[in-house]
Amino acid sequence: MENFKEKYYRLKFLFVELISKIDNLTEENNFFDKLNAIRKEIAEVQSLKDDLMAYSDKEELKKMEPEIANYAKQIREKFDYIIEQKRNELGEIALRVKNLQNSRKLVNYRR
């Protein structure tokens, strides 16, 4: 039982830490390095969650499941937001490239 609680509190701590790291994820602060660290923590979270799911006391698991689901949902929403931002940035860059190409075509046509 004590081991279960330790793992559960460690899992909660990791979730909160992950949410904080995702909130602080920006281009200026080594985006890809931090993303790799986040991936490693997500793997640790999954391992802890699997260990807890193998636990035999189903009543304890039912109590913690809504909280874990809430943390997972927050993380998923934060990643969805980051993906949407990156998708919008790519769209803007693609539009600029297209405008540049059109400008070059006009310049060549005028010659």
Number of domains comprising the chain: 1
Query: Residue 79 is part of which domain span?
Result: 2-110
The rounded percent of the chain whose pLDDT value lies above 70 is: 92
Cα–Cα distance, 9 to 3 (Å, whole number): 10
Neighbours of 60 (CB within 10 A): 15
| b/e sequence 34-52, b meaning 16+ C-beta within 10 Å | eeeebeeeeeebeebbeeb
User: pLDDT band for position 76 (50/70/90)?
Assistant: very high
Query: Which tens digit of pLDDT belongs to each residue from 4-13?
Result: 788 888 888 9
- The stretch 59-86 carries a mean pLDDT of 87
pLDDT in tens, 40-67: 988 998 888 888 888 767 787 778 888 8
For residues 69 and 31, is the Cβ–Cβ distance under 8 A? no
Q: Say what the pLDDT of residue 74 is.
A: 92
**Is 27's pLDDT higher than 80?**
no
